[in-house]
Structure 1
Amino acid sequence: MAHDHWENCIAHFDTQVDVFAEEYFGRTEVICLLVAAAGFDPRSIGIATLLAGHLGDRLSGLFVREERGTPDAGLVTAADQNADRLRELVRGCEIASVDIFGNDNAPVAGVRIASIIRDFNIPDETTDIVLDMTALSIGVAFPAARLLLDYCEDRGIAFHIMVASNPELDDAITSEPGDRPMAVRGFAGIDLSDAALEISRIWVPQLAKGRSAALTEIRRSIRDTYKICPVVPFPARDPRRADALITEYGTQLIDEWQVDPRDIVYVSESNPLDCYRTLSTLTKRYADAVDQIFVPSIILSPVGSRVMAAGALMAAIEHNLTVQYIETVRYDFDPAKPAVATAPDMRVHLLLSGPAYRELGAASATPVQPDAPEPVCDVPS
């Protein structure tokens, strides 16, 4: 299904999210389902708290608890506390456990979340579905988003994505990657097995603090890349965040990936539409550049900020791009770290489908910001 209206996607940021939630979800005719995480992340209850305050008993919930091996006892306690709070906020909600790995340690998150969503009884009177990507892993969030978007578009109801972003908190959560990179369920891209021309791949990894090992494993799983175009956050709340990431990944960028500085892609840390538009432009320009010479293949690896990942999700759906990812075996997190305690969350709301676009028309939907600049990534002429 075409998503031309995403070029002028309805979006809200920070205090605008509060105003939108009050004016939109406060209406008595809105019946909403919230799909979100029930994990240890302290941001897990933020969006639920906001929506429950305006919707009350018009809000139902499907909350996902991601299960990985033997987690730290402190994280289990934090997840239990968040789950209890979610039950208080959304009466009658369902909390579903999703095993991230199977008995043979193979990643199965996509299959499990797809089964849970298909079996979940969404009330017929539902007018809106909100996916809170804040604390969901990519292997769960992306398949869930695709299934829920299709469900909403088939029935003409509204589909929203919301994120409570905190880059400083993201940096404080460390993770241990698994050893089996693979395409996220539903995001394997176009089947190129019978391609008549040589395939020319561009890998677009999102750089994030402490994710070097994960990206190294993902890179090994991708064959014969023509270019690697790393994505870094700029503008960002910390103006030096992009510089710090380039320094952290210096050896990989120069010696292992042989990245030309002109191929680094800069996208906003706070606006997913910037990432979406930049990746969409990159995809279109590259396809035009290699037309009838190579078969273009863009491979995304969003491993950091969920705001930037939301933009990558939109681009992947719109252009049927491959999303190559590696699941996390375990997390380590100390909520007492100073940066975690002091940095405020940045909130984002996206309306991806629904009656609003039919009423407004794609041409009349007001852009949140001017079109993103042309991507820096160089392509052959």
Structure 2
Amino acid sequence: MGRERRWDPCVSHRGAEVDRFIVEYFGGVGRKVLLIAGAGFDPRSTAVAERLKAAGASVRAILFQENRPKPAQDLINRATSNAGSLTTAVGNHVVIPIEIFGTDGAVVGGRNIASSLGKEKFEDITDIVVDASALSVGTSFPIIRYLVERIERGKGPANLHVFVAHDPTLDAAIQSVPSDAPGYVHGFKGGSTLDGSAAAAKLWLPQLATGRRGALGRLHEFVGPHDTCPILPFPASDPRLGDKLAEEFLTEMESGWSVDTRNILYADEADPLDLYRTILRLDDLRKPVFREVGGSLLVLSPLGSKVMALGALMAALERDLPVAYLESISYDLDGSVPLTSSTPNLVHIWLEGDVYTQPRPVLHREGTSAS
């Protein structure tokens, strides 16, 4: 029987519901908001900040700039423009540069951003808002983990909200150039490094995305799974996207990964809770099957859609699942993409807060029993 789930039920909003929620909740008397967002080139960077400003919310902002080697001038110009819009929208702000790679080429962005957050003061804040729209998986996942665990220890603030601007077309237009060093996202090694997990049946759950064959190929070699269950978006804004991705990864699924077509997972492209529940349901099904032969270990690799990545994050947080990832050393973006996204489709997840009955189902911890 499955364990009680921390985010089922979960308070969430999509589309027009998000705009109404921002006005009614954050514009209310007594709300003091800390916004954590990325000041990058992504056209969705300013969507949440500008809506908080329009709602009349009392906001302080921490704006992280992800620095990578030798960025293209066009991306620098876009990031500068977005940073200007963000600082205009939130007068009380600090801009913090974060080096994603160390001088030796090692991925250090997640560690750097967690260290930076550890120096912040959270007094007099009622709500923390993390806008993951312009943050990479390597930075947004450690940020959210740090805040969830802080709240679970009773340090507050009580309320944690995560926003993502959903735009599959833009996700596909932003082409990443992956580094050569696959690894685990900072804070998300799960049980992958424990001696007790050495004999576990390892199942890899890669989120398939256009143009990511090379990255996912290197991640497969890094993870070394016993089985693979690729994740395809369905339903999706493009009804044929799942078929297109299956065709793009046909060679990997038929030979390299030896995927049985019955093992392909489908999740709603626009609803992070769908993938979250799918992953936990799969974890619950495997635990009793493999308990007597070394156990079961799920390894996630969220690439592509930021909304689906949020669902993977929630599952990883709840079950302490490892997240294997290949950090991008640079990005390419077609110059025809607008500087800002005029009508972003926002998704809101209320991760922690006084809206939930206490006590909450506990988060699983690395090295503890996962029965």
Q: Do 1:5 and 1:357's aligned partners in 2 also have CA atoms closer than 8 Å?
A: no
Deviation at 1:89, TM superposition (A): 0.4
Q: What is the aligned partner in structure 2 of residue 311 from structure 1?
A: 311
Q: What is the aligned partner in structure 1 of residue 41 from structure 2?
A: 40
Q: What is the aligned partner in structure 1 of residue 368 from structure 2?
A: none
Superposition misfits of 4+ residues, deviation over 4 angstroms: 340-344
Secondary structure in structure 1 of the residue aligned to 2:210: coil
Q: What is the aligned partner in structure 2 of residue 182 from structure 1?
A: 183
Secondary structure in structure 2 of the residue aligned to 1:322: coil
Separation of aligned partners in 1, 2:235 and 2:343: 17
Q: CA 1:3 to 1:345, structure 2 compared with 1: closer, same or farther past 3 Å?
A: farther
Q: CA 1:116 to 1:196, structure 2 compared with 1: closer, same or farther past 3 Å?
A: closer
Q: TM-score when scaled to structure 1?
A: 0.89
Q: Do 2:164 and 2:347's aligned partners in 1 also have CA atoms closer than 8 Å?
A: yes
Separation of aligned partners in 2, 1:157 and 1:193: 32
Mapping for residues 26-175 of structure 1, pairs under 5 Å? 26-56=27-57, 58-122=58-122, 124-153=123-152, 154=154, 155=156, 157-175=158-176
Separation of aligned partners in 2, 1:73 and 1:197: 46
Secondary structure in structure 2 of the residue aligned to 1:236: coil
Q: Size of the alignment, in residue pairs?
A: 357
Q: Do 1:166 and 1:343's aligned partners in 2 also have CA atoms closer than 8 Å?
A: no
Separation of aligned partners in 2, 1:45 and 1:342: 9
Deviation at 1:333, TM superposition (A): 0.4
Q: What is the aligned partner in structure 1 of residue 346 from structure 2?
A: 347
- Is the aligned partner of 1:258 residue 2:244? no
* CA RMSD, 1 decimal: 2.1
Residue identity in the other structure for 1:204: L
Q: What is the aligned partner in structure 2 of residue 299 from structure 1?
A: 299
Separation of aligned partners in 2, 1:343 and 1:264: 35
Q: CA 1:121 to 1:335, structure 2 compared with 1: closer, same or farther past 3 Å?
A: farther
Secondary structure in structure 2 of the residue aligned to 1:41: coil
Q: CA 1:196 to 1:93, structure 2 compared with 1: closer, same or farther past 3 Å?
A: closer
Q: What is the aligned partner in structure 2 of residue 214 from structure 1?
A: 215
Separation of aligned partners in 2, 1:30 and 1:169: 32
Deviation at 1:92, TM superposition (A): 2.2
Deviation at 1:337, TM superposition (A): 4.8
Unaligned runs of 5+ in 2: 362-371
Q: CA 1:250 to 1:23, structure 2 compared with 1: closer, same or farther past 3 Å?
A: same
Q: TM-score when scaled to structure 2?
A: 0.92
Q: What is the aligned partner in structure 1 of residue 369 from structure 2?
A: none
Q: What is the aligned partner in structure 2 of residue 324 from structure 1?
A: 324
- Is the aligned partner of 1:271 residue 2:271? yes
Q: CA 1:292 to 1:112, structure 2 compared with 1: closer, same or farther past 3 Å?
A: same
Separation of aligned partners in 2, 1:12 and 1:352: 12
Task: Show CA shifts across 1:30-52 (max 9, x none).
Answer: 10011111000110001111112
Unaligned runs of 5+ in 1: 364-381
Separation of aligned partners in 2, 1:315 and 1:358: 20
